[in-house]
Amino acid sequence: MRQSLVVGNWKMNSTRASAKLLAQGITAGLDERSNAGIAVCVPYVYLDCVSEIVKGTALALGAQNVADKPSGAFTGEISASMLKEFGCQYALVGHSERRTYYGDTNETVAARFCQAQEQNITPILCIGETLEQREQDQTFAIIEEQLDAVINQAGIAAFGAAVIAYEPVWAIGTGKTATDEQAQEVHHYIRQYISAKDQAIAEKLLILYGGSAKPDNAKGLFSMPDIDGGLIGGASLDAESFLKIYHSI
Ligand code: PGA
């Protein structure tokens, strides 16, 4: 039985004060459940203050990205070892906004994935197709390309310490959620693809859904056999709605 996971992605939102309030609101609403993990990926500059708030609670801390190199002359980058100092357990890699606006390629995403694992930070590998790719029936080919880049660099065994987030780009921040069946179809495909290389890893692998997940659609999505939780953007900026999603598991 896989343990579920709900992860908030705050993106470039909040202030120091509102970040603290949001983290406090979430920790105050947590209960003693063992079958679901919960985490927030906060802006780098708030890792410090949020780490103080989550200490000793079930709320885990994550970053929204991680450098593809361990250290050195890479102005503006934040390394995995730096994230580790703040107690980060997770780091998103390959979010579609990084791929689209900041030039992340499948290869740099794979390098980020490896850097996170070097520091025992669990990478949350984000993959997904654009609307155009879906309409041209390329969804599975795109998913394979995105997975292959990481499998080639990190090896299939690395997925034993990673999470995948399937986020159809057309559903992110658009209010258009994939239907339960649409999401399940791709999640199942991802699991089968990994399973063909290593069945035991595929069975344990958490595959989260992301893209306009909200309190009113989370239950349906999470009831699908290959959907193990969610990566939540907009709806994670409000403690009550994020907790409702978490409690839908
Ligand atoms: P959204 O974002 O929930 O606002 O669609 C999800 C994500 O980008 O991770």
Q: Is the shortest distance between the CB of 213 and ligand 1 below 6 Å?
A: yes
Asked whether the whole model's pTM tops 0.95, one would answer yes
How would you write the pLDDT of the chain (249 residues) with one tens digit per residue? 799 999 999 999 999 999 999 999 999 999 776 679 999 999 999 999 999 999 999 999 999 999 999 999 999 999 999 999 999 999 999 999 999 999 999 999 999 999 999 999 999 999 999 999 999 999 999 999 999 999 999 999 999 999 999 999 999 888 888 899 999 999 999 999 999 999 999 999 999 999 999 999 999 999 999 999 999 999 999 999 999 999 999
Residue 232 contacts residue 8 (beta carbons within 8 Å) = yes
Domain containing 228 — which CATH number?
3.20.20.70
> Does 167 participate in catalysis according to the annotation?
yes
Pick the atom of ligand 1 nearest to 236's CA.
Answer: 3
Residue 55, number of CB atoms within 10 A of its CB: 11
Segment (H or E) for 8: strand 4-9
> Does 95 participate in catalysis according to the annotation?
yes
Q: Rounded to whole angstroms, how far apart are CA atoms 113 and 165?
A: 13
- DSSP code per residue over 138-150: -HHHHHHHHHHHH
Pocket test for ligand 1, best of 6, 9, 131 (most atoms within 8 A of CB): 9
Q: Is the shortest distance between the CB of 117 and ligand 1 below 6 Å?
A: no
Q: How far is CA 91 from the centre of its chain?
A: 8
Residues 6+ away with beta carbon under 8 Å from 147:
127, 190, 193, 194
Q: Is the shortest distance between the CB of 70 and ligand 1 below 6 Å?
A: no
* Residue-number span of the structural domain to which 183 is assigned: 4-246
Q: Is the shortest distance between the CB of 243 and ligand 1 below 6 Å?
A: no
Please tell me the total count of domains within the chain: 1
Q: Is the shortest distance between the CB of 212 and ligand 1 below 6 Å?
A: yes
Pocket test for ligand 1, best of 231, 236, 238, 245 (most atoms within 8 A of CB): 231
Compute the C-alpha angle 40/122/227, nearest 5°: 70
